[in-house]
Amino acid sequence: MHREAFKDILDRLARVEGHIRSIKEMVSQERECPDILIQIAAVRSALNQVGRIIMEEHIETCVVEAFKEGKEDKAIADLKEALRKFI
């Protein structure tokens, strides 16, 4: 994984962690359901972005390397499995 992507992923996950704590506080404070649902949607979106970055990094590094090594079939099978689980 590229160093910049690694840092970006960690930063994004730290923000997600903060959002999760905020949602927990909102629930304990019995805040309005729509407000909580908006925050949950924001967390989902943020996690999807993290997943997208990781998937791109996987393609750009692991898949490309596997093709160079002649391991295309395994790389494609692994990528399909990752996509199936992610989507």
Range of the domain at 15: 3-86
Q: What residue spans of the chain are helical by DSSP H?
A: 3-28, 33-58, 64-68, 72-86
pLDDT, tens digit only, all 87 positions of the chain: 788 889 999 999 999 999 999 999 999 999 999 999 999 999 999 999 999 999 999 999 999 999 999 999 999 999 999 999 988
Nearest to 42 by CA among 22, 70, 69: 22
Domain count, the chain: 1
CA gap 1, 6 in Å, rounded: 6
Nearest to 61 by CA among 53, 46, 13: 53
**Do 78 and 33 meet the contact criterion of CB atoms below 8 Å apart?**
no
CATH number for 8: 1.20.58.1000
Amino acid making up residue 52: R
Residues in the chain, overall count: 87
